[in-house]
Amino acid sequence: MVKSILGKKVGMTQIFDEAGRVIPVTVVEAGPCVVTQKKMIKPDGYEAVQIGYRDIKESRLNKPERGHLAKHKLPAKRYLREVRMEGVGEMEVGAEIKVDVFEAGDIVDVTGTSKGKGFAGVVKRYHWHGADMTHGSMIHRKPQSAGATDAARIFKNTGRPGHMGHERVTVKRLRVVRVDLERNMILIRGAVPGPNGGMLTIREAKP
């Protein structure tokens, strides 16, 4: 069984457990997805499955994508993601994946693209405290020294202002609180990466 699924982040809300305690959850509209390709140790060198999510017009795909899906007579999918797993040989291309592959209590890893923050300085980007705010300081929120002057370059991993956010982020070991098969919804405790409407990959957490 493929213990992974693709979905769309709907937003956050809260529910109550049997004891009346508040549980913050993220609502994800997940699946149904379809297995679009299998990767085997021979000839690919590793085992994985490619899964597709969300139907779109075939005209929106480029020719390689159309040919890839038409090879197995599959409908056009907007998102294609590969998931590493074992026992791929027993699966069939075209098999459908729904939210019922998970159940309440499962531990999952959620991957998405974080919110973009635009161009940011070092105080916002790296949480530097800055210099004195007193009169005459002239530094305040500036990054100050960039390193040695004789290197004629900036060394790697030196904190500088730049593009913040819009990165691939994985939040690990979140708990599934509820699964709604009729509405293709899955409720995950806590926050997950990205804005509402962003695409997510949910997979079983590694032990």
Give the global pTM. 0.84
**Of residues 73, 84, 105, 78, the one with CA closest to residue 39:** 84
pLDDT at 94: 87
pLDDT at 158: 86
pLDDT tens profile 78-94: 999 998 888 777 788 88
Q: Environment class of residue 1 by beta-carbon count within 10 Å: exposed (0-12), middle (13-18) or buried (19+)? A: exposed
pLDDT at 119: 97
Amino acid at 135: H
Tell me which architecture the domain covering 4-117+168-204 has in CATH: Beta Barrel (2.40)
